[in-house]
Structure 1
Amino acid sequence: MKKNIYKRGITIVELIISVAILSILVVVVSTFQKDVISLNTNLQSSLNAQLEARHLIKNMVAELRKTTTSANGSYPIELASSTGITFYSDIGNNGSIDKVRYYLSGKTVKKGVITPTGNPAVYNSGNEVTTTLLNYVVTSSTLPMFQYHLASYAGTSTPLSIPPDISTIRHIKITVIIDTDPNRSPTPIIATSQVSLRNLKDNL
C-alpha cells in the first residue's frame, strides 16, 4: 500500500515572525557596530587631542622659560590672565626677541607672534602671525588654563589673584582640558605642566 507523505509548509504567520526576528537582529547588530565605530572614533580623537595638548604645553614651557626683556626694553611679561598670556621670548633661538601670546578663543587655543622691526625696535600688531594650536578645549573655574605664583611657590600654595601683579610672577602652571565630545566617553583629558621663569628669579 502506498503511503502518502505530507510535508507541512511554512505558514504566513511563521514567515512574518521569522522576518520580524531577523529584522530585530539586523537592527541590533547594526546599532552595535555603529556604537563600536563611534566609540573607536571618539577614542582616536581623544588620543590625538591628548598628544597635541602635550606637544602644545611642551612648547609653551620651553618658550616661557626663556621669557626676557623685549627688544625695546619692555618688561618680559605684558599681560597675564586665566585664559591667556603675552610675553617676550627668543622662541626662534636666533637672537630676535619676539612678542608671543597664547590665548583661548572659544574652545580653541591660539598663538600669536610678532617679530620686532626697526631701530629702535617696534612690535607692530598688524604684523602678528596667528596660528591655531588646539581645539576642543573646555574651561574650568577650578583648573584655569594659566595660574601664576610667586618665587616661593612649592607646589601647593594658592595662586595669585587674577589679574596678577605681573612684576611678581615667577612661576606659571599651565593646564589644558580637552573634551572632543561632551556627550560621549571618554571623560575629559587634562594635560598640565609648570615652568619657572629663569630670567626673572629674585635670587639672581
Structure 2
Amino acid sequence: MDFLKHNCNSKSGFSVIEVLVGIFIIILIGLAIYSFQKDIFSLNRTISGSLAAQDETRRALKSMSAEIRTASPSSLGAYALSQTATSSFTFYSNIDDDSFKERVRYFTDGSTLKKGVIKPSGTPLTYNPANEVISELAHDVANTATSIFSYYDANYDGTIQPLAEPIDIAAVRLVKITIVIDKDPQAPPEPIVLTTQISMRNLKDNL
C-alpha cells in the first residue's frame, strides 16, 4: 500500500526543470510574435508613408506642370526663363491670374522640394528677393544620382540627351522633371520614380 502511494506521488505534477523549460518556450513564442507584429506594423507605416509621399509628389508635379507651361516674359520684360540647373529652376509665370507675372523658383532643401514665389512690387516694379514666399511641395525626395530638372531644345524627339551644362537658356523649349521618392532608404519598398515633361507653349517653335 505504501509502495502504491509513493508511486502515485512521484507521477503527479511537473518537475522544476519542466516548468522552467515550459516558461522559456512560452517566452520565446511571445518574443517571436512580438517581433513579427512589430515588423508588420513598421512595414505598414513605411508603405503608408511612401504612398502618401507619392500622392503628394503627383499633386506637386501637376501644379508645377501648369505653372511651367505658361512661362512667359516677366512684368519687367525679362526673358521667361531666369535660371536652369539640375536641382533648381526659376522662371516667370502668371500663376494667380492677376495682372502681374510672378517669379517662380523650384528648388530642393535637403529631402524637400520647395517653391519660392516673388510678386513684383514697388514703383518702378521690381522682384525683391526679400519678398519671396516659400512653400513646401514634396517630401522624401531622394534624387542623389538623378537630375530633378532636365532641359531640351526644339529638336527633342523623346530619345535625345538633355542639354549639357552650361545650358543656353534661350534654347530651352521643354523641361523634364524627375522626382525619386524614398521614405526610408534602409527599408522597403524600393524608391519610386515619378516623371513628367512640360513644353512651354509661349516658347514653342518646332514642338
AA aligned opposite 2:200: L
Structure 1 segments (4+ residues) deviating >3 Å: 1-7
The Cα of 1:203 is off from its aligned counterpart by 5.1
Of 72, 80, 87 in structure 2, the residue corresponding to residue 83 of structure 1 is 87
Match of 1:94 in 2: 98
Structure 2 stretches lacking a partner, 5+ long: none
Of 17, 20, 23 in structure 1, the residue corresponding to residue 21 of structure 2 is 17
The Cα of 1:162 is off from its aligned counterpart by 2.4
Larger Rg: 2
The Cα of 1:94 is off from its aligned counterpart by 2.0
Q: Within 2, Cα distance between the matches of 1:170 and 1:148?
A: 8
Match of 2:35 in 1: 31
The Cα of 1:151 is off from its aligned counterpart by 1.4
Change (3 A) 1:203 1:175: closer
Match of 1:184 in 2: 187
The DSSP-based 3-state class of the residue aligned with 2:59 is helix
AA aligned opposite 2:118: I
Does the 8 A contact of 1:100 with 1:112 survive in 2?
Answer: yes
Match of 2:171 in 1: 168
Q: Within 1, Cα distance between the matches of 2:183 and 2:165?
A: 28
The Cα of 1:118 is off from its aligned counterpart by 2.7
The DSSP-based 3-state class of the residue aligned with 2:180 is strand
AA aligned opposite 2:18: E
Match of 1:193 in 2: 196
Q: Within 1, Cα distance between the matches of 2:115 and 2:46?
A: 26
In terms of fraction of residues, the more helix-rich structure is 2
Q: Which digits, 9 at most, give the CA deviation of each residue in 1:128-152, with x for residues without a partner?
A: 00112222111243x3100000112
Q: What is the number of residues matched between the two proteins?
A: 203
AA aligned opposite 1:111: K
Of 25, 46, 49 in structure 1, the residue corresponding to residue 50 of structure 2 is 46
TM-score by length of 1: 0.94
Change (3 A) 1:190 1:203: closer
The DSSP-based 3-state class of the residue aligned with 1:111 is strand
The DSSP-based 3-state class of the residue aligned with 1:35 is helix
AA aligned opposite 2:53: A
Match of 2:139 in 1: 135
Q: Within 1, Cα distance between the matches of 2:156 and 2:206?
A: 14
AA aligned opposite 2:170: S
Of 47, 61, 65 in structure 1, the residue corresponding to residue 65 of structure 2 is 61
Q: Within 1, Cα distance between the matches of 2:166 and 2:23?
A: 68
Are 1:158 and 2:161 an aligned pair?
yes
Structure 1 stretches lacking a partner, 5+ long: none
Does the 8 A contact of 2:112 with 2:137 survive in 1?
Answer: yes
Q: Within 2, Cα distance between the matches of 1:186 and 1:130?
A: 30
Taking only the aligned residue pairs, the percentage that are identical comes to 41
Q: Within 2, Cα distance between the matches of 1:67 and 1:42?
A: 37
